[in-house]
Chains A and B, each alone.
Chain A
Amino acid sequence: MTPVLSVQSIESYYGQFQALSGISIAVEEGQTVAIIGANGAGKSTLMKAIAGVHPPTKGAIQFRGKPISGSSAYALVQQGIAMVPEGRRIFPSLTVEDNLLVGAYSGRKGQWTLDKVYELFPILKERRKNGGTDLSGGQQQMVAVGRALMSNPELILMDEVSLGLAPIVVNEIYEVIRRIAALGTTILLVEQDVSRGLREASYVYCLLEGRISLEGKPSDLKKEEISRAYFGI
């Protein structure tokens, strides 16, 4: 079976700085895959390359067997790739509800509607008239996840959803992510919290200095192996 997402030896640069060198990953249908790694390992760059925000200079990216590495971010949403960006990027001048509705801009049909998202995050329904950035960090993260769902994606890219949030809030968010995954949506997430990444994903890639230093099923990986791959020592 062709994977939903296949990244083949991509390279990415910021000016002279090579942020990614020869990265290859594959994400199967319905899988939750985590990319772990330290700060500056290239995790977010990889996400941006896949999402069409910062296209790679070399290599290929395929979504359901179709090459997408030259596509713009907005075109990928129409094809079924949604993004929960790092730092949430909630639109401050829009209400919570308008933020969610912007997520539906592509007009893709599917199971996710405003009501369904409110069922998933009841607190957002209460706060729907509030300004998008007037919410707590956790609630803003819920808006970001809900907004991505509104495009009815087949693949969701989640960039550091736990960053800067209290552990109890992170638990809540991952609870919902598990429910989304159970409904059949394929998820690729970037997680700085290694144990969280290992717990949530069925397959893990560890990045170190723009290369994949380790990959495998969490159950097959040994602790020492992981810390070597993570810290490069």
Chain B
Amino acid sequence: MDLGIDRIINMLVQGVLLGGLYVLYGTGLSLIFGVMRLVNLAHGDFIVLSAYISLILAGFGVNPLISIVIVVPVMFVLGLPLQRFVLNRTLGKGIMPPLLITFGLSVIIQNALQLGFSADTQGLDAGALETASITITPSLSIGLMPLLTFVIAIAVLIGLQVFFRRTRLGRAFRATSDDPEAAEMMGINSRHVYALAMGLSLAIVAIAGILLGVRTNFAPALGPARLLLAFETVIIGGLGSIWGTLAGGIILGLAQTIGAQINPAYFQLSGHLVTLLVLVFRPTGLFAVTRDK
């Protein structure tokens, strides 16, 4: 195996950029857990659902990247009643009800997609942008889509950071996360905050789903594997830390790309191994800001 310096740099760059997609997977999951301690097992299926909504729009000639401006608000609006009328009822009753409900949702979404679109794999065509790349050196070129994905991921994280630190609603999110009952005593309707958090989570999921669809093929049953990647990103980075999620995504992306260099079959495996190592040696993640005992 030839491991020239160019090859190594190339591998590292691809790994980091791949991490951008995982950051987008993990952020929505982490947000929901952070605000209401809810583990959304249908998270991956919402990612796939978003790709399918973009696919429908592609039928009307909408470029997938343009469809972001439609799919993001659609998923946001979908999140509000989902939380208000379904998930809010499951909160505060132990860990099982939300797990069961979101697991059920996962099954429903997968089957509905299969019914509507068949089990065939689909793809989103973003046109020339998909294959465009920037040549850095003769042996190193960066694909424009992976780069764009990474930049979007960073932009989402910066946006969230500003939202949480600087806005009235962001403070309400953090207060509710700390102590929902005390937050209610301060005039914050926690049920409403939860609904907005789910909307925000699904809005980020929408971006992730479309970028997934442009990057690779997707099928109705692909959700749980996306959920696993989202989990791994969050586990490596540490729950509740925005920048930890960034690190988690990058580490996962790097692990997979490096593993694949050794043997293409190790792509998934090496990511799981790194996650396992973090779980063994630092169960709270590398950058956790846990307040939970």
Contact = CB atoms under 8 A, between A and B. Distances in A.
A89 B187 CA distance: 14
Interface stretch (B73-81, B87-95, B168-176): B168-176
Nearest to B172: A105
Interface string B156-192: 0000000000001001101101110111111111100
B288 to A, nearest CB: 13
A231 interface: no
B183 A83 contact: no
Greatest chain A CB density within 10 A among B171, B172, B174, B181 is at B171
B182 A91 contact: yes
A91 B188 contact: no
Contact of A105 (B168, B177, B179, B181): B168
Interface residues of B, number: 20
Nearest to A94: B174
Interface residues of A, number: 25
A72 to B, nearest CB: 7
B293 interface: no
Contacts of B178: 91-94
A102 B171 contact: yes
Contacts of B181: 53, 73, 89
Interface string A5-44: 0000000000000000000000000000000000000000
Contact of B188 (A92, A99, A102): A102
Of the listed residues B172, B182, B189, B289, the one surrounded by the most CB atoms of chain A closer than 10 A to its CB is B182
B291 A151 contact: no
A103 interface: yes
Contact of B186 (A77, A92, A93): A77
Contacts of B183: 91, 102
Contacts of A180: none
A85 interface: yes
A98 interface: yes
A74 B184 contact: yes
A73 B174 contact: no
B186 A102 contact: yes
Contact of B174 (A85, A93, A147): A93
B187 A72 contact: no
A84 B177 CA distance: 19
Interface in A123-163: 147, 151
Interface string A76-116: 01100001010001011110001101111110000000000
A105 B184 contact: no
Contact of B291 (A74, A92, A104, A147): A92
Given A75-B189, A94-B175, A106-B187, 9 more contacts: A73-B181, A74-B190, A78-B187, A85-B185, A89-B181, A98-B174, A104-B168, A105-B186, A105-B188
Closest A-B pairs by Cβ, 10 of them: A77-B187, A106-B187, A89-B182, A73-B184, A91-B178, A83-B185, A74-B189, A102-B175, A105-B187, A91-B175
Interface of B: 168, 171-172, 174-175, 177-179, 181-190, 289, 291
7 contacts: A73-B181, A77-B187, A93-B174, A102-B175, A105-B188, A151-B186, A151-B187
